[in-house]
Amino acid sequence: MAGNRGRGRSQFTFNVDALGFGRGDSLPTSAHTPSPLFPPMQFRPVPLHTGEEVEYMLALKQELRASSKNLPFHIKAARTKTDVARYSDKYQNGEPKNNCIEWSPDWSRMPKELCIKVRKPRKTGAKPQPARKPKVSAGKEEVLQKLETLEKSEQEQHSEEEADEEKKKQKDEEEEPDVDEDYDEEELEDETDYIMSYFDNGEDFGADSDDNMDEAVY
């Protein structure tokens, strides 16, 4: 092996022609840095398909995404209250609770261990009907409802709910009967004379988006 060094100093053990560079050519420069994260592309990508079908599927996709946020399958963990317990907690049942499920699956098709309490927005006939029937407040109900929805939306600063309510007006969602029933149940169950937004303790005010504050807070 060592003896071969003297003869033919620039002789390699493999056939250099196959590699593609001849003798005397400099080797390609070695890389000192990892390759760039977004290397410049040699060829631009082909434009996307267009057409009625494509646009329809695009609209479908965006609708599905938006509506899946409203379905009971979208699970949000309950916010842990780190503050003191407040009186208004009793009347605020809009937040999801951890120990009940918002829809009623067919428990016979699931393992028994997964069974948890179903949060029924309305109990049909299980509750004793209070003396004042809904008929009495029939006229007031729609007005109260409208007021409540407007107030709730302003105070909660969750504008997404508004947009979703708009969407609900345009496309049927199963939510609205539930919202109505929720409202009924709240009114009847707790038997207060105040609408539920009276018990808002202001915790949600200023809770979101404190960054990017270009607008002054009064």
Partner 1 sequence: MTAQEVRLCGLLLQEHFGDVVEKVGTHLIRSGVLTLRALAHETKLALDLVKKSLCVLVQHGMCTFGPGRRGPAGPVEYRINCERILHMLRYPRYIYTAKSLYGDTGELIIEEILQRGQMTMSSTVKTVADRLTHNMPEGQSMDYSEVVSAFSRLVETHFLQRCPPMASAGSSSSGAVDTSLPVVTQPAEPESNPECYKLPYINLTGQGKRRRSSEDGEDDQRAAKKAKTDNSQCGDEGIYWQVNFLRFHLHFRDQAIISAVSCKLDQTSSEIVRTMLRMSEVTTPAHAAFTQALSANEIFRSLPSNYNIARPILDQYLTLLVDDPMEFVGKTGDSGGGMYVVNLHRALANLARATLESVVQERFGSRSARIFRLLLRKRHLEQKQVEDFAMVPAKEAKDMLYTLLSENLVQLQEVPKTPDYAPSRTFYLYTVNQLPTARLLLQHCYKTIGNLIERRLYETKENKRLLEKSQRIEAILASLQATGAETAQLTEVEEMITAPERQQLESLRHHINKLDSSENQVDETIFLLESYINSTQASR
CB of 38 to partner 1, least distance (A): 12
Are the C-beta atoms of residues 72 and 102 closer than 8 Å to each other? Answer: yes
Binding residues for partner 1 (CB under 8 A): 13-15, 18, 20, 42-43, 45-46, 48-49, 53-54, 56-58, 60-62, 64-65, 67-68, 71, 73-77, 98-99, 101, 105-106, 108-116, 122, 124-125, 134, 138, 141-142, 145-146, 150, 153, 159-160, 162-163, 165-166, 169, 171-172, 174, 176-177, 180-181, 209, 212
Count CB neighbours of 28 within 10 A: 7
Chain mean position to CA 147: 27
CB of 73 to partner 1, least distance (A): 5
In angstroms, the CA 74 to CA 59 distance is: 21
CB of 142 to partner 1, least distance (A): 4
Nearer to partner 1 among residue 46 and residue 131 (C-beta): 46
CB of 2 to partner 1, least distance (A): 18
Read off the DSSP letter of residue 210: -
Nearer to partner 1 among residue 51 and residue 87 (C-beta): 51
Nearer to partner 1 among residue 30 and residue 87 (C-beta): 30
Count CB neighbours of 44 within 10 A: 6
Count CB neighbours of 99 within 10 A: 8
Helix %, strand %, coil % of the chain (to 5): 40, 0, 60
CB of 174 to partner 1, least distance (A): 7
Nearer to partner 1 among residue 9 and residue 171 (C-beta): 171
Q: Coil, strand or helix: which one is 179?
A: helix
Nearer to partner 1 among residue 88 and residue 122 (C-beta): 122
In angstroms, the CA 40 to CA 32 distance is: 18
